[in-house]
Chains A and B, each alone.
Chain A
Amino acid sequence: MTVITAPLVRRMFRAEGLLRARELGIVVAIVVVFVATTINNHAFADAHSVQQLLTGASLIALLAVGETLVIVTRNVDLSVGSVVGLSAYVVGDVFVKHPHTPAFVGFVIGTLIGAVVGVINGLITTIARVPSLVVTLASLYIVRGIDARIVNGKRIDPVNVPRPFTEVGYKTVLGIPWLAVIVALVVLIVGYAMRTFRSARDLYAIGSNPEAAALAGVPAGRRIVSAFTISGALAGFGGALFLAEFATVDATGGTGYELSVIAAVVVGGVAIFGGSGTVFGAALGALLLNTINQALVASRISSFWNQAVAGALLLAAIAFDRWVGLRVARRMQTAEGAHRDV
């Protein structure tokens, strides 16, 4: 074990400071986009518009939280979009068949469905030692196929979704949409856990150096299965939220979400090869992407520009991260060199 010396601690703080600066950077970007758009179009800062902004970002932010846990361990979960679709439809189907089901049961069912998919993803990844990209690509297809089989060309209509359930999707508390409140709570809880608990810190250890983590006695397999389970559970919960938000779903619900989620995570400063990044950053990344989309609409720039701008932004974010990373590495090297000279 390394002796913790004063310069080492200082160095760690400096590195963490830069990571913090990363999240601050996203906040600044959100504020800049928001203010610039508001100057252009005052309606953008209306309560209703801001509520829409938050609601629109909520689902992707929630999925980004789970995805962060997985990506931090040097894995990836591509199945989240399909899980959202499956969970949303099954929950809706429960409401159709048993109209008096309490609303919270819907959320529980959705979460459980996701957790089951997550456990399977995690077990296959760790036991068979198959790269998670392949496993979750396969489960993306399988889950979507099962979903289509269950849906069988039908759809859930708003009349069949109970009122208390959809209220979660459009009601507000103190002017903040419930959807955003729920997701913010999840972000805070998971974010706190990721900073505090040993088991959560293990995820970072696994991601930054799998061999070293194994030598240090980190139960990598169990931790990775947990990460996939949480990611799946949050995606399943997200499926229930999807139904609450839109009150309707067919066989295509959540299609393509996986790439938006990974984009949000990467913009949020989570390293795609694991080991660093925070849940807060990922959620803010989702908010930034949605703010930009809405800003384009509010600025009356054709919505056709949405994707092009999002793509360019994503590339800029990765390039920026790389630049910051190189600077940190260089600074650490010089610091180390100076230390040795002494």
Chain B
Amino acid sequence: MSDTQTAPPAVSAVDAPHRELPWRSALRWESGLVIVLIATLIFAGTQSSDFFTQSTMFYIGLNMGEIAIMALPLTLIVMTGEIDLSVASMLGLAGTIMGYLFEHHWNIYLAMAAALVVGAVGGALNGALITRLGLPSIAVTIGTLTLFRGLAEVILGNSTVGGYPLSLTKIGVVPIQGTQISYSVAIFLGLAVICAIVLHATPLGRSIFAIGLQSEAAHFAGIRVGRIKFWLYVLSGVLCALAGILFTLKNASARFDAGTGLELNVVAIVLLGGVSIFGGRGSIVGVVLSVVIVGCLQQALTQMHVDAQVQNIVLGGLLLVSVIVPNGGEAIRRIRARTRRRVPA
């Protein structure tokens, strides 16, 4: 904020946020999230007597694991200024493929591998349409959202496939031995560490930031914009397929409509995590915090017997507050500047 005063007054209100160092605003965002998290925990602890029990952590993990896994590649994609709305459909398609092949007497591990391959192919389709043909990612992924879900429906119809080995479906019932961490959360945490290192400590990560801030400039600086975006979509496809496998095993059944509508939850979590929808700003830590906040809130509200649909008010409100508050100061300054300008006239 201090540099606002040294700047020429004519541009200060508009340009101030752009001149700030990206890590500084990110740091502030995450400290805000920590405060929200503490508030959430206090709220949960006072409103629900059994919130601070051991199994709560497991149930939160069970609810959030797949969404959290899908949020990681989406974070990287949004950082480049693009979006992927097909994530939940890919989750459904991957689960469907796995279930269908298992039903047709494939080895379960081969069926899983096939689901991951389908994820890669689907992601490559997104990536190719967006980077090779230059189509807008929001339109393309709404298309593949419908397409992937449709293919899942064609393959499985109304039937449900179950009967997976108990050694695998137990991930939906028991945590990792000796802990209260669900398997999906363990995978998420591992992936989050990798993503955080790649994003914040490697040239590739810097390239992702650069693409999001100024795609053109990044291109002229020798960054292979198209290639990086393409592989991020492939990564998204594979990880969403992985989430689909976990989702199927957790529920011990594959259905074509598994996870319908989850794409908006995933997007909401990424945005709440402080990732700018225009790209170039955000961090993995923020997204992890956002996952924890949403998970705790949902669990607390469920324990308070608040209807799942009504919980949407809280999620939406949180999302709204999270984007308005950082912009609020600037908006007030702008309105003041405008009224000041009007007075002499």
Binding site for B on A (CB under 8 A): 76, 78, 124, 127-131, 133-135, 137-149, 152-153, 251, 255-256, 259, 262-263, 266, 272-273, 302, 304-312, 314-315, 318-319, 322
* With A138-B320, A318-B139 as contacts: A307 and B146 at CB distance below 8 Å: yes
Instruction: Give A232 to B316 CA distance when docked, in angstroms.
Output: 18
Tell me which residues across on chain B come within 8 A of A152, comparing CB atoms: 307
Instruction: Give A307 to B307 CA distance when docked, in angstroms.
Output: 30
* With A131-B277, A259-B142, A304-B157 as contacts: A138 and B310 at CB distance below 8 Å: no
Q: Which 10 A-B pairs have the closest CB atoms?
A: A311-B147, A308-B150, A141-B316, A307-B150, A145-B313, A148-B309, A311-B146, A142-B316, A145-B312, A314-B143
A-B residue pairs in contact (CB < 8 Å), sample of 13: A128-B324, A128-B331, A137-B264, A138-B316, A140-B316, A145-B311, A145-B312, A263-B142, A272-B139, A311-B150, A312-B150, A315-B129, A318-B136
Tell me which residues across on chain A come within 8 A of B261, comparing CB atoms: 255-256
| B259-277 Cβ-contact flags toward A at 8 Å (1 or 0) | 0110010011001000001
Task: Tell me, rounded to whole Å, the shortest Cβ–Cβ distance linking A85 to chain B.
Answer: 10
Instruction: Give A253 to B314 CA distance when docked, in angstroms.
Output: 20
Interface SS of chain B: helix
Instruction: Give A310 to B89 CA distance when docked, in angstroms.
Output: 14
Number of A-B contacts (CB under 8 A): 155
Tell me which residues across on chain B come within 8 A of A131, comparing CB atoms: 277-278, 323
Residue from the list B136, B147, B335 in contact with A312, Cβ < 8 A: B147
* With A140-B264, A145-B312 as contacts: A130 and B324 at CB distance below 8 Å: yes
Instruction: Give A147 to B316 CA distance when docked, in angstroms.
Output: 13
Say yes or no: B315 contacts A141, CB within 8 Å.
Answer: yes
Say yes or no: A319 contacts B147, CB within 8 Å.
Answer: no
Which residue of A has the minimal Cβ distance to B323? A130
Say yes or no: B157 contacts A142, CB within 8 Å.
Answer: no
Tell me which residues across on chain A come within 8 A of B145, comparing CB atoms: 259, 311
Residue from the list A124, A146, A315 in contact with B147, Cβ < 8 A: A315
Say yes or no: B309 contacts A129, CB within 8 Å.
Answer: no
Say if the beta carbon of B330 comes within 8 Å of chain A.
Answer: yes
Say yes or no: B319 contacts A322, CB within 8 Å.
Answer: no
Instruction: Give A76 to B260 CA distance when docked, in angstroms.
Output: 21
Tell me which residues across on chain B come within 8 A of A312, comparing CB atoms: 143, 147, 150
Q: What total of chain B residues lie within 8 Å of the partner, measured CB to CB?
A: 49
Best-buried of A76, A127, A143, A147 by chain B (most CB within 10 Å): A127
Residue from the list A133, A140, A149, A266 in contact with B310, Cβ < 8 A: A149
Say if the beta carbon of B144 comes within 8 Å of chain A.
Answer: yes
Say yes or no: B319 contacts A138, CB within 8 Å.
Answer: yes
Tell me which residues across on chain A come within 8 A of B136, comparing CB atoms: 272-273, 318
Task: Tell me, rounded to whole Å, the shortest Cβ–Cβ distance linking B189 to chain A.
Answer: 26
Say yes or no: B316 contacts A318, CB within 8 Å.
Answer: no
B233-267 contacts to A, CB under 8 A, are: 260-261, 264, 267
B301-334 contacts to A, CB under 8 A, are: 307, 309-317, 319-320, 323-324, 327-328, 330-331
Interface SS of chain A: helix
Tell me which residues across on chain A come within 8 A of B147, comparing CB atoms: 307-308, 311-312, 314-315
Besides the known contacts A143-B316, A309-B150, A311-B145, 15 further A-B residue pairs in the complex with CB atoms under 8 A apart = A138-B268, A138-B317, A138-B319, A142-B312, A145-B316, A148-B312, A255-B261, A263-B142, A266-B139, A302-B154, A308-B154, A311-B149, A315-B140, A315-B143, A315-B147
Say if the beta carbon of B230 comes within 8 Å of chain A.
Answer: no
Tell me which residues across on chain A come within 8 A of B217, comparing CB atoms: none
Say yes or no: A129 contacts B150, CB within 8 Å.
Answer: no
| B283-301 Cβ-contact flags toward A at 8 Å (1 or 0) | 0000000000000000000
Which residue of A has the minimal Cβ distance to B313? A145
Say if the beta carbon of B188 comes within 8 Å of chain A.
Answer: no
Tell me which residues across on chain A come within 8 A of B85, comparing CB atoms: 259
Say yes or no: B313 contacts A314, CB within 8 Å.
Answer: no
| B135-170 Cβ-contact flags toward A at 8 Å (1 or 0) | 110111011111111110110010000000000000
Tell me which residues across on chain A come within 8 A of B323, comparing CB atoms: 128, 130-131, 134-135, 138
Say yes or no: A141 contacts B157, CB within 8 Å.
Answer: no
Say yes or no: B328 contacts A128, CB within 8 Å.
Answer: yes
Tell me which residues across on chain B come within 8 A of A306, comparing CB atoms: 150, 153
Say yes or no: A145 contacts B310, CB within 8 Å.
Answer: yes
Say yes or no: B144 contacts A141, CB within 8 Å.
Answer: no
